Amino acid sequence: MTAAKLPEQCETMLDVRAGVDETDRALVALLVRRFGYMDAAARIKTDRGTVRDEARKAQVLDNVARAAEEAGLDGDRIRAVWNELVEQSIAHEFDRWDEARA
């Protein structure tokens, strides 16, 4: 399989779709790694009440919004995407925490 073209090299919608599909596969691989960190957190934390950490969530959202803006993206839009990612990560961590102690 050949690498997809960079966005600025795309000439057809097939090029665009190939790039999106390749990017999605890469994002899934990164999500596997990110959720692995949630597994580690669930293993390390001794108190279920510490799984949800609103201060840390706010920090993560601020960090990604700032990084997005520095990269030329809409920080609020990326913050909204990350809010869902963080909520799903927290849910995953709760599941793993409960499974480890069942």
Domains and CATH numbers, the chain: 12-100 (1.20.59.10)
Closest CA to 86 of 42, 65, 56: 56
All residues at 6 or more sequence positions from 39 whose CB lies less than 8 Å from its CB, including other chains: 92, 93, 96
pLDDT digits (tens, 9 = 90+) for 86-101: 999 999 999 999 999 9
All residues at 6 or more sequence positions from 94 whose CB lies less than 8 Å from its CB, including other chains: 42, 48, 51, 52
pLDDT digits (tens, 9 = 90+) for 62-88: 999 999 999 999 999 999 999 999 999
Let me know: does 5 contact 14? Beta carbons within 8 Å. Answer: no
